[in-house]
Amino acid sequence: MLKIAIIIGSTRPGRRGEAVARWVHEIAQKRSDAEYEIVDIADFNLPLYDEPKPPMLAQYTKPHTVAWSTAIHSYDGFVFVTPEYNHAISGALKNAIDFLFNEWKDKAAGIVSYGGGTGGARAAENLRLILGELHVADVRAQVTLSLFTDFENYSVVKPAPHQEAATNTMFDQVVAWSSALKTLR
């Protein structure tokens, strides 16, 4: 059975990412094609990248890096839940991604973004550039949640009905690509 991580891409107090990830996970729990788990980067307390060697070498010296590596290595694919900060992903998510290399390689990823008028679409595009460099196959289908229409009072997650179908389409693609890429690993 494939294992897919739903990664919360924000660590700030009052973040919406945790609620969005729970909503995504609720949809995932209705499926039987993979095991889906929420992974919160805040739980790993990652400082700014502090390893003496590049992540490509996988010669980690810090306990937090080893824990992060072990967690990410165990998954076949990912769904990144990312806010849009200044037309990009959060610094916390970029830092967490940059800690590793081989653990991401030859896996698939979907993106659920949230933000203002474009629903975090620019953050999703920024994330696609980063994932490409790590040999992650990002799927075409994505979910963009607007703070104006998919949240009540800009804070409570209440996605429009079509968003569940969009999420399932994204899951379909992540599962298909994760399965196909397993042969490369």
* Burial (0-12, 13-18, 19+ Cβ within 10 Å), 165: exposed
Query: What local confidence, expressed as pLDDT, does residue 155 receive?
Result: 84
CATH at 20: 3.40.50.360
Residue 11: the pLDDT is 97
Segment 53-98, tens digit of pLDDT: 999 999 999 999 999 999 999 999 999 999 999 999 999 999 999 9
Going by pLDDT thresholds of 50, 70 and 90, the confidence category of residue 35 is: very high
Tell me how many domains the chain contains. 1
Strands, sheet with 77-83, edge to edge from the N-terminal-most edge strand? 34-40, 2-8, 77-83, 108-115, 137-146
**Count of alpha carbons within 13 angstroms of residue 13, beta-carbon side:** 0
Predicted confidence at residue 108, as pLDDT, reads: 98
Sequential DSSP letters for 33-64: SEEEEEEEGGGGT--S---SS-GGG----SHH
What values do phi and psi take at 113, rounded to 5?
Answer: -115, 160
Q: List, for residues 117-172, the tens digit of each pLDDT value.
A: 899 999 999 999 999 999 999 999 999 999 999 999 888 999 999 999 999 999 99
What is the span of the domain harbouring residue 85?
A: 2-184
CA distances from 173 to 17, 47, 77, 156, 170 (A): 22, 33, 11, 28, 5
Coil vs helix vs strand at 149 = coil
The answer on pLDDT for 185 being more than 90 is no
pLDDT of residue 104: 98
Phi, psi angle pair for 48, to nearest 5°: -60, 145
Separation CA 16–CA 25 (nearest Å): 14
CA distance 75 to 104: 9
pLDDT at 31 over 90: yes
Give residue 163's pLDDT. Answer: 98
Beta bridge partners of 40: 8
The DSSP result for 60-95, as a single string, is --SHHHHHHHHHHHT-SEEEEEEE-BTTB--HHHHH
Pairing verdict, β 156-157 and 151-152: antiparallel
